[in-house]
Amino acid sequence: MFLCTLLYACTPGNPESSPAATTSSSTEAHGQSGVVDETSKPDVVKVAASSKDHTTLVTAVKAADLVNALSNAGPFTVFAPTNAAFDKLPKGTVDKLLKTDQKDALTDILQYHVYVGVINPEQLHDGQNLNMVNGSNITIAMQDGKPLINGKAHIIASIPASNGIIHVIDEVLTPQ
């Protein structure tokens, strides 16, 4: 059901496809023709899959059957926890979530890391709430001029992709 909902929500031409339509902008460089060259960049899943620091996230995305959904046109903003972020969770948490009977819980957590629309780092501001794919909100606070997600996760890097942007973060976000 989620996959169908996400695919519909991200269909081009759907007026609801970008909740941040007023605050999002493209992160891609424009060529001389003014057309964005999307072919030179991989999608958010391929970017994560190519990172040695995101093997746990990629394994979780595969276990939750979200690869196809996150490979579509988007646009997405993905807050991508590193392996080290997953390692901060209580011992056994990741193994438990990867079990078949925990797929719904895993999907909920992963959806809490995805926003439909592109939010660049400079668009994040103090007190901002973003409605994530799972229906819950994350809150942005500014600390020393840098965004802090839900009071704990720092953005380490931001990587543009053909279907959005990935913000590498140092904590796993848990739905509230």
pTM here is 0.78
* pLDDT at site 41: 84
- pLDDT of 9 higher than 60: no
For residue 139, the domain's CATH number is 2.30.180.10
In a domain, 174, yes or no: no
Average pLDDT over residues 112-120: 96
Average pLDDT over residues 100-108: 95
Between residues 31 and 135, which one has the greater pLDDT? 135
In a domain, 32, yes or no: no
In a domain, 57, yes or no: yes
What gap in Å lies between CA 5 and CA 28, rounded to an integer? Answer: 27
158, 121 Cβ separation under 8 angstroms: yes
In a domain, 156, yes or no: yes
- pLDDT of 164 higher than 60: yes
Average pLDDT over residues 100-114: 96
- Considering only CA atoms, which of 63, 29, 61 is closest in space to residue 48? 61
Average pLDDT of the chain, as a whole number: 81
* pLDDT at site 176: 75
In a domain, 31, yes or no: no
In a domain, 136, yes or no: yes
- pLDDT of 84 higher than 90: yes
Residue 116 burial (C-beta neighbours within 10 Å; 0-12, 13-18, 19+): buried
In a domain, 18, yes or no: no
Helix (H, G, I), strand (E, B) or coil at 173: coil
**Structural domain span for residue 157:** 2-12+41-169
Say which residues have a Cβ less than 8 Å from residue 117's Cβ, sequence separation at least 6. 17, 18, 19, 20, 21, 23, 24, 75, 76, 77
In a domain, 76, yes or no: yes
155, 146 Cβ separation under 8 angstroms: yes
Q: What confidence category does residue 73 fall into, taking pLDDT thresholds of 50, 70 and 90? A: confident
> Number of structural domains, the chain?
1
